[in-house]
A = this chain, B = another copy of it.
Amino acid sequence: MWVRVLGSAAGGGFPQWNCACPNCRAVRDGSRPCRPRTQSAIAVSGDYRKWFLFNASPDIRTQIEAFAALQPGGGRATPLRAVLLTDAEIDHTLGMLLLREAKSIELHATPAVQETLCDGTAVLRTLEAYCQVTWRPVVPGASVPLEGGLSYRAFNVPTSKLPRFTAGREQGRVVGYRLTDESSGRTVVYLPGVQELTAEVRAELDDCSCLLVDGTCWHDDELIRLGLARKTARDMGHLPIGDPGGSLEQLSPLPIERKIYIHINNTNPILLDDAPERRAVEQHGMEVAADGLEVRVA
Protein backbone atom coordinates (compact mmCIF):
# COMPACT_ATOMS: atom_id res chain seq x y z
CA MET A 1 0.00 0.00 0.00
CA TRP A 2 1.18 3.50 -0.81
CA VAL A 3 0.30 6.59 1.18
CA ARG A 4 1.00 9.93 -0.45
CA VAL A 5 0.80 13.10 1.62
CA LEU A 6 -0.93 15.60 -0.65
CA GLY A 7 -1.12 18.30 1.98
CA SER A 8 0.30 18.47 5.48
CA ALA A 9 -0.99 21.76 6.92
CA ALA A 10 -4.07 22.48 9.02
CA GLY A 11 -6.95 24.68 7.85
CA GLY A 12 -5.70 27.85 6.14
CA GLY A 13 -2.47 26.16 4.97
CA PHE A 14 1.06 27.44 5.50
CA PRO A 15 1.33 30.33 5.13
CA GLN A 16 -2.28 31.32 5.86
CA TRP A 17 -3.49 34.12 3.56
CA ASN A 18 -4.13 36.68 6.33
CA CYS A 19 -1.51 35.61 8.87
CA ALA A 20 1.78 37.33 9.62
CA CYS A 21 2.76 35.25 12.66
CA PRO A 22 6.52 34.49 12.98
CA ASN A 23 6.17 31.21 11.03
CA CYS A 24 4.11 32.70 8.19
CA ARG A 25 6.53 35.60 7.90
CA ALA A 26 9.46 33.17 7.82
CA VAL A 27 8.04 31.03 5.01
CA ARG A 28 7.20 34.14 2.95
CA ASP A 29 10.53 35.92 3.37
CA GLY A 30 12.77 32.84 3.60
CA SER A 31 14.37 34.05 6.84
CA ARG A 32 14.09 30.62 8.50
CA PRO A 33 14.34 27.16 6.95
CA CYS A 34 10.81 25.93 6.26
CA ARG A 35 8.57 24.88 3.37
CA PRO A 36 5.07 26.00 2.37
CA ARG A 37 2.36 23.40 2.89
CA THR A 38 -1.11 22.91 1.50
CA GLN A 39 -4.10 21.82 3.59
CA SER A 40 -4.11 18.25 4.82
CA ALA A 41 -5.16 15.30 2.71
CA ILE A 42 -3.64 11.97 1.75
CA ALA A 43 -4.10 9.67 -1.23
CA VAL A 44 -3.86 5.93 -0.68
CA SER A 45 -3.48 3.11 -3.19
CA GLY A 46 -2.95 -0.64 -3.11
CA ASP A 47 -1.69 -0.83 -6.70
CA TYR A 48 -0.46 2.71 -7.52
CA ARG A 49 -3.21 2.90 -10.16
CA LYS A 50 -6.50 3.37 -8.32
CA TRP A 51 -6.34 6.01 -5.65
CA PHE A 52 -8.51 6.91 -2.67
CA LEU A 53 -8.59 10.42 -1.33
CA PHE A 54 -8.80 10.88 2.45
CA ASN A 55 -10.31 14.33 2.86
CA ALA A 56 -10.72 16.78 0.00
CA SER A 57 -8.87 19.99 0.80
CA PRO A 58 -9.54 23.31 -0.93
CA ASP A 59 -5.98 22.95 -2.30
CA ILE A 60 -6.84 19.80 -4.24
CA ARG A 61 -6.17 21.37 -7.67
CA THR A 62 -2.59 22.18 -6.69
CA GLN A 63 -2.22 18.80 -5.01
CA ILE A 64 -3.34 16.82 -8.07
CA GLU A 65 -1.08 18.83 -10.37
CA ALA A 66 1.84 18.10 -8.04
CA PHE A 67 1.30 14.32 -8.24
CA ALA A 68 1.23 12.73 -11.70
CA ALA A 69 -0.37 9.49 -10.46
CA LEU A 70 -3.61 11.41 -9.76
CA GLN A 71 -3.84 13.01 -13.20
CA PRO A 72 -6.21 11.78 -15.91
CA GLY A 73 -4.83 9.30 -18.41
CA GLY A 74 -7.10 10.19 -21.31
CA GLY A 75 -10.35 12.05 -21.97
CA ARG A 76 -11.75 12.86 -18.56
CA ALA A 77 -11.09 9.52 -16.80
CA THR A 78 -9.23 9.92 -13.52
CA PRO A 79 -7.44 7.46 -11.20
CA LEU A 80 -9.43 8.85 -8.23
CA ARG A 81 -11.90 6.18 -7.09
CA ALA A 82 -13.54 7.67 -4.01
CA VAL A 83 -13.35 10.35 -1.35
CA LEU A 84 -13.35 9.31 2.33
CA LEU A 85 -13.92 11.93 5.01
CA THR A 86 -12.75 12.09 8.61
CA ASP A 87 -15.07 14.99 9.49
CA ALA A 88 -17.13 17.78 7.93
CA GLU A 89 -14.61 20.62 8.41
CA ILE A 90 -14.33 23.09 5.52
CA ASP A 91 -10.61 22.38 5.12
CA HIS A 92 -11.38 18.67 4.70
CA THR A 93 -14.42 18.92 2.45
CA LEU A 94 -14.47 22.08 0.31
CA GLY A 95 -12.26 20.41 -2.30
CA MET A 96 -15.20 18.18 -3.23
CA LEU A 97 -16.71 21.18 -4.99
CA LEU A 98 -13.54 21.36 -7.09
CA LEU A 99 -14.22 17.80 -8.23
CA ARG A 100 -17.64 18.80 -9.55
CA GLU A 101 -16.57 18.25 -13.18
CA ALA A 102 -16.47 14.49 -12.46
CA LYS A 103 -19.32 12.40 -13.87
CA SER A 104 -19.87 10.89 -10.44
CA ILE A 105 -18.20 10.81 -7.04
CA GLU A 106 -18.22 8.03 -4.49
CA LEU A 107 -18.24 9.51 -1.02
CA HIS A 108 -17.59 7.65 2.23
CA ALA A 109 -18.74 9.60 5.29
CA THR A 110 -20.59 8.96 8.53
CA PRO A 111 -24.25 9.99 8.80
CA ALA A 112 -23.20 12.83 11.13
CA VAL A 113 -20.75 14.18 8.54
CA GLN A 114 -23.20 13.69 5.68
CA GLU A 115 -25.87 15.66 7.59
CA THR A 116 -23.51 18.59 8.20
CA LEU A 117 -22.50 18.58 4.53
CA CYS A 118 -26.16 18.72 3.51
CA ASP A 119 -27.81 20.90 6.13
CA GLY A 120 -24.81 22.75 7.61
CA THR A 121 -22.15 23.86 5.14
CA ALA A 122 -24.29 22.57 2.22
CA VAL A 123 -21.12 21.47 0.37
CA LEU A 124 -22.76 18.17 -0.53
CA ARG A 125 -26.11 19.66 -1.52
CA THR A 126 -24.30 22.07 -3.85
CA LEU A 127 -22.07 19.33 -5.27
CA GLU A 128 -25.16 17.27 -6.13
CA ALA A 129 -26.35 20.09 -8.39
CA TYR A 130 -23.27 19.42 -10.58
CA CYS A 131 -22.61 15.69 -10.50
CA GLN A 132 -23.92 12.42 -9.20
CA VAL A 133 -22.77 11.57 -5.69
CA THR A 134 -23.02 8.04 -4.32
CA TRP A 135 -22.91 8.15 -0.55
CA ARG A 136 -21.47 5.12 1.29
CA PRO A 137 -22.37 5.50 4.99
CA VAL A 138 -19.27 4.96 7.14
CA VAL A 139 -20.04 2.64 10.06
CA PRO A 140 -17.33 2.58 12.73
CA GLY A 141 -16.05 -0.94 13.30
CA ALA A 142 -17.14 -2.34 9.93
CA SER A 143 -14.49 -3.59 7.52
CA VAL A 144 -14.99 -2.24 4.00
CA PRO A 145 -13.05 -3.46 0.93
CA LEU A 146 -11.64 -0.92 -1.54
CA GLU A 147 -10.47 -1.65 -5.09
CA GLY A 148 -6.79 -2.45 -5.57
CA GLY A 149 -6.36 -4.76 -2.59
CA LEU A 150 -7.17 -2.48 0.33
CA SER A 151 -9.75 -2.38 3.07
CA TYR A 152 -10.60 0.15 5.77
CA ARG A 153 -12.20 0.21 9.17
CA ALA A 154 -13.29 3.54 10.58
CA PHE A 155 -13.39 4.29 14.29
CA ASN A 156 -15.16 6.97 16.26
CA VAL A 157 -12.99 9.78 17.68
CA PRO A 158 -14.75 11.53 20.56
CA THR A 159 -14.67 15.33 20.53
CA SER A 160 -16.14 18.08 22.65
CA LYS A 161 -15.54 20.71 19.97
CA LEU A 162 -18.71 22.75 19.68
CA PRO A 163 -20.36 22.06 16.34
CA ARG A 164 -20.61 25.24 14.26
CA PHE A 165 -23.69 23.98 12.47
CA THR A 166 -26.81 22.20 13.76
CA ALA A 167 -25.98 20.18 16.87
CA GLY A 168 -26.71 16.94 15.00
CA ARG A 169 -25.51 13.55 16.12
CA GLU A 170 -22.85 13.09 18.78
CA GLN A 171 -21.32 9.88 17.34
CA GLY A 172 -19.32 9.97 14.13
CA ARG A 173 -18.63 13.71 13.98
CA VAL A 174 -14.95 12.74 13.74
CA VAL A 175 -13.53 9.37 12.73
CA GLY A 176 -10.11 7.89 12.11
CA TYR A 177 -9.37 5.27 9.45
CA ARG A 178 -7.45 2.05 9.85
CA LEU A 179 -6.34 0.90 6.39
CA THR A 180 -5.19 -2.62 5.65
CA ASP A 181 -3.16 -3.91 2.73
CA GLU A 182 -4.96 -7.19 2.11
CA SER A 183 -1.91 -8.97 0.67
CA SER A 184 0.46 -8.21 3.53
CA GLY A 185 -2.03 -7.56 6.31
CA ARG A 186 -0.10 -4.45 7.31
CA THR A 187 -1.99 -1.35 8.37
CA VAL A 188 -1.85 2.42 8.30
CA VAL A 189 -3.91 4.63 10.61
CA TYR A 190 -5.01 8.09 9.46
CA LEU A 191 -6.02 10.33 12.32
CA PRO A 192 -5.63 14.00 11.35
CA GLY A 193 -7.93 15.20 14.14
CA VAL A 194 -7.93 13.80 17.67
CA GLN A 195 -8.72 15.63 20.87
CA GLU A 196 -7.92 12.87 23.34
CA LEU A 197 -6.14 9.54 23.02
CA THR A 198 -8.80 7.54 24.84
CA ALA A 199 -8.32 3.82 25.48
CA GLU A 200 -10.64 3.11 22.53
CA VAL A 201 -8.62 5.31 20.16
CA ARG A 202 -5.31 3.85 21.39
CA ALA A 203 -6.63 0.33 20.79
CA GLU A 204 -7.04 1.22 17.10
CA LEU A 205 -3.29 1.89 16.87
CA ASP A 206 -2.38 -1.67 17.87
CA ASP A 207 -0.12 -3.45 15.40
CA CYS A 208 -0.22 -0.59 12.92
CA SER A 209 2.87 -0.03 10.77
CA CYS A 210 2.38 3.65 10.10
CA LEU A 211 0.43 6.35 11.91
CA LEU A 212 -0.40 9.76 10.43
CA VAL A 213 -1.63 11.80 13.35
CA ASP A 214 -2.94 15.20 14.38
CA GLY A 215 -0.04 17.65 14.73
CA THR A 216 -2.08 20.86 14.74
CA CYS A 217 -0.53 22.72 17.69
CA TRP A 218 2.56 22.39 19.84
CA HIS A 219 1.00 24.10 22.88
CA ASP A 220 -2.65 23.97 23.86
CA ASP A 221 -2.68 27.79 24.22
CA GLU A 222 -0.55 28.44 21.11
CA LEU A 223 -3.03 30.71 19.30
CA ILE A 224 -3.89 32.59 22.50
CA ARG A 225 -0.18 33.33 23.21
CA LEU A 226 0.21 34.75 19.71
CA GLY A 227 -2.92 36.85 20.15
CA LEU A 228 -4.52 35.23 17.09
CA ALA A 229 -7.52 33.52 18.67
CA ARG A 230 -9.15 32.88 22.02
CA LYS A 231 -9.47 29.12 21.62
CA THR A 232 -7.14 26.40 22.81
CA ALA A 233 -6.07 23.53 20.55
CA ARG A 234 -8.38 21.24 22.54
CA ASP A 235 -11.29 23.69 22.11
CA MET A 236 -10.76 23.15 18.38
CA GLY A 237 -10.64 19.36 18.73
CA HIS A 238 -6.87 18.85 18.72
CA LEU A 239 -4.54 17.32 21.31
CA PRO A 240 -1.37 19.45 21.50
CA ILE A 241 1.98 17.79 20.77
CA GLY A 242 4.44 19.20 23.24
CA ASP A 243 2.59 19.96 26.48
CA PRO A 244 2.84 17.54 29.41
CA GLY A 245 0.36 14.78 28.58
CA GLY A 246 0.56 15.82 24.93
CA SER A 247 0.74 13.49 21.96
CA LEU A 248 4.56 13.31 21.81
CA GLU A 249 4.71 11.95 25.34
CA GLN A 250 1.87 9.51 24.69
CA LEU A 251 2.71 8.31 21.18
CA SER A 252 6.50 8.20 21.01
CA PRO A 253 6.78 5.04 23.18
CA LEU A 254 4.42 3.07 20.90
CA PRO A 255 6.06 0.35 18.77
CA ILE A 256 4.90 1.78 15.43
CA GLU A 257 7.46 1.87 12.61
CA ARG A 258 6.63 5.35 11.36
CA LYS A 259 4.74 7.95 13.35
CA ILE A 260 4.16 11.11 11.35
CA TYR A 261 2.58 14.40 12.37
CA ILE A 262 0.17 15.85 9.82
CA HIS A 263 -2.47 18.66 9.83
CA ILE A 264 0.07 21.14 11.19
CA ASN A 265 -1.13 24.65 11.97
CA ASN A 266 0.79 27.65 10.62
CA THR A 267 1.61 28.69 14.20
CA ASN A 268 3.26 25.38 15.17
CA PRO A 269 7.06 25.72 15.68
CA ILE A 270 7.69 22.21 14.28
CA LEU A 271 7.20 23.76 10.83
CA LEU A 272 10.62 25.40 11.21
CA ASP A 273 13.34 22.90 10.29
CA ASP A 274 15.73 24.39 12.86
CA ALA A 275 13.32 24.76 15.80
CA PRO A 276 14.03 22.96 19.10
CA GLU A 277 10.47 21.59 18.95
CA ARG A 278 11.20 19.96 15.58
CA ARG A 279 14.34 18.43 17.07
CA ALA A 280 12.33 17.11 20.02
CA VAL A 281 9.85 15.41 17.68
CA GLU A 282 12.66 13.74 15.74
CA GLN A 283 14.61 12.76 18.83
CA HIS A 284 11.48 10.99 20.04
CA GLY A 285 11.40 8.95 16.82
CA MET A 286 8.53 10.79 15.20
CA GLU A 287 8.39 12.71 11.89
CA VAL A 288 6.88 15.92 10.55
CA ALA A 289 5.02 15.46 7.27
CA ALA A 290 5.69 17.66 4.28
CA ASP A 291 3.68 17.83 1.06
CA GLY A 292 4.76 15.07 -1.32
CA LEU A 293 5.98 12.62 1.34
CA GLU A 294 5.28 9.08 0.17
CA VAL A 295 5.24 6.07 2.45
CA ARG A 296 5.15 2.48 1.27
CA VAL A 297 3.81 -0.09 3.68
CA ALA A 298 4.23 -3.60 2.25
Give the interface of A toward B (CB within 8 A): 12-13, 15-20, 24, 28, 36, 58-62, 64-65, 68, 71-78, 80, 90, 94, 97-102, 120-123, 125-126, 129-130, 164-165, 227-228
Contact = CB atoms under 8 A, between A and B. Distances in A.
21 contacts: A13-B61, A15-B71, A16-B101, A17-B61, A17-B72, A17-B101, A18-B72, A18-B101, A20-B72, A20-B73, A28-B65, A28-B71, A58-B58, A58-B97, A59-B62, A62-B62, A90-B97, A120-B126, A121-B122, A129-B165, A130-B164
Contacts of A228: 75-76
A16 B18 CA distance: 27
Contact of A18 (B58, B76, B94): B76
Contact of A15 (B65, B78, B98): B65
Nearest to A80: B18
A101 B20 CA distance: 13
Number of copies: 2
Q: Which 10 A-B pairs have the closest CB atoms?
A: A122-B122, A20-B72, A18-B78, A17-B64, A121-B126, A18-B76, A20-B74, A18-B72, A129-B164, A18-B101
Nearest to A58: B98
A289 to B, nearest CB: 19
Contacts of A36: 65
Given A36-B65, A94-B98, 7 more contacts: A15-B65, A17-B98, A18-B101, A20-B75, A28-B68, A62-B62, A122-B126
A72 B266 CA distance: 14
Contacts of A64: 17
Given A76-B228, A122-B121, A101 B12 contact: yes
Most buried by B among A13, A17, A73: A17
A60 B94 contact: no
A228 B72 CA distance: 13
A72 B23 CA distance: 13
Contacts of A74: 20
B58 A61 contact: yes
A180 to B, nearest CB: 28
Contacts of A73: 20
Given A36-B65, A129-B164, A102 B72 contact: no
Contacts of A80: 18
Contact of A19 (B28, B76, B130): B76
A18 B122 contact: no
Contact of A99 (B17, B75, B125, B164): B17
Nearest to A126: B121
A102 B18 contact: yes
Nearest to A91: B98
Most buried by B among A61, A64, A68, A102: A61
